[in-house]
Amino acid sequence: MRVYLDHNAGVPMRREVFEAMRALLLGEPAANASSPHGPGQRARYRIEQAREEIAALIGCEPAEIVFTSGGTEADNLAVLGFMEGRAGGEPAPHVVSTTVEHPAVEECLKSLEERGVRVSRVRVGASGAVDAGEVEASFLPETVLASVMLANNETGAIQPVAEIARRARARGIAVHSDAVQAAGRIPFDVRSLGVDVLSISAHKMGGPQGIGALYLRRGIELAPRLLGGPQERRRRAGTEPAALIAGFGEAARLAREEMGRWEGVTRPLRDRFEGEMTARFPEARFHAAPLRLPNTSSIAFPGHSAEAIVMALDLEGIAVSTGSACSSGAALPSRVLSAMGLPEWEVRSTIRVSFGPSNAEHDVERLLAALGEIVARQSHLTTAAGS
């Protein structure tokens, strides 16, 4: 039996989600929700039902949800669409963000810079969290947007988004938050957070890949990134993928009903893993923010290669990941861990273990046993090579 401990990369699809999608894929496969006939209108009904479930999950009105092809497109629409959609905006606008955003936001920031927008990236502390006061200190009279993620994909660090939004609002600055890792895992609602725009993705909560959504507070204008038909209130052209959206809706419904399982199931497993690791490998170092997703563990094994550990665990049937992103086949050191001030050797020795509600005690035991053997074997090899 394989042990899957990479839920921050993707949460396995639930059977209920698959069934909701199958009904649309096989039942009325050609139905276009814009068609006036019965099958089209039934597809429309499923889409609007899903929109209600997703709105209920994050505490907004259904009309404030715009479907996208995933978290990446939601982030692009939020950041680039907001900046392009400002009516008669500042000639030299300024955007505030952080040094640990997902590439889906970071690459948009770079693209804005190429077009003359000034961007300040607030540094995180050693634990991976930003300080709301430091974010506020970087606001300028020309600042129009602050984009700060809610939970980090590599470390699970939860950022003080509500506090940042409160300070931004007082100055008329719009706030976007990438909540792809938080939605469906920790309870929050967009009104209490006080954000204007927020990105989510279905496959991080047990829905299908290729579908996500943007919460767009009523009254906020965005320039669409895709031009064409009038779908999604002219925010995102293209025939809505009814089956993917129905699957997303079902995943959101389950996530809302079973939200407590992330806290109730994954936190004890994660804490047991970390407790036992500390006892068995006193040299192991955890990158743990005071506020963190309950399922995520980022752990460095000094003197070891994270890539080698991840591959060896895979051979044992255990899926975890490194903290680093892969680019054209070459593993680059994690930008997030580097931004936390960790030396390169520590970055390169860090693995990410992300538990999910379907994990159990025996998964932790398998992981601990396998890690013990792998680290001992590698230490032996390193010592032998050095002697």
Which residues contact ligand PLP by CB under 6 A? 70-72, 75, 102, 104, 149, 153, 178, 180-181, 201, 203, 212
In whole angstroms, the minimum distance from the beta carbon of 73 to ligand PLP comes to 7
In whole angstroms, the minimum distance from the beta carbon of 178 to ligand PLP comes to 5
- In 42-122, which ranges are E strands? 65-68, 94-98, 118-122
97-118: b or e for each residue (b if 16 or more CB lie within 10 Å)? Answer: bbbbbbebbbbbbeebeeeebe
In whole angstroms, the minimum distance from the beta carbon of 149 to ligand PLP comes to 6
Give the ranges where 122-241 is alpha helix by DSSP (H).
132-137, 161-169, 190-193
Q: What angle do CA 266, 270, 272 make, to 5 degrees?
A: 120
Cβ partners under 8 Å of residue 387, min gap 6: none
Beta bridge partners of 120: 96
Cβ partners under 8 Å of residue 10, min gap 6: 203, 204, 209
In whole angstroms, the minimum distance from the beta carbon of 72 to ligand PLP comes to 3
In whole angstroms, the minimum distance from the beta carbon of 179 to ligand PLP comes to 8
Among the listed residues 92, 227, 326, 369, the single catalytic one is 326
Question: CA of 333: how far to CAs of 156, 274, 330, in Å?
Answer: 18, 23, 10
Q: Percent helix, strand, coil in the chain (nearest 5)?
A: 45, 15, 40
Is residue 326 flagged as an active site residue? Answer: yes
Distance CA(213)–CA(56), nearest Å, equals 13
Interhelix angle 38-58/242-257, nearest 10 degrees: 30
Our CB check for ligand PLP shows the closer of 153 and 298 to be 153
- End-to-end CA gap in the chain: 38
Pairing of strands 3-4, 318-319: parallel
Our CB check for ligand PLP shows the closer of 104 and 374 to be 104
In whole angstroms, the minimum distance from the beta carbon of 70 to ligand PLP comes to 3
In whole angstroms, the minimum distance from the beta carbon of 203 to ligand PLP comes to 6
Our CB check for ligand PLP shows the closer of 98 and 359 to be 98
Our CB check for ligand PLP shows the closer of 104 and 216 to be 104
Our CB check for ligand PLP shows the closer of 53 and 73 to be 73
Our CB check for ligand PLP shows the closer of 107 and 142 to be 107
Residue nearest to ligand PLP (CB): 71
In whole angstroms, the minimum distance from the beta carbon of 27 to ligand PLP comes to 26
Six-digit token string for 286: 């955890």
Interhelix angle 306-315/361-386, nearest 10 degrees: 130
Answer whether 128's CB lies under 8 Å from 155's CB: yes
The helix/strand count (H/E) of the chain reads as: 14, 15
Our CB check for ligand PLP shows the closer of 7 and 94 to be 7
Our CB check for ligand PLP shows the closer of 96 and 370 to be 96
For residue 274, the tally of other CB atoms under 10 A from its CB is: 16
**Catalytic residue set:** 326
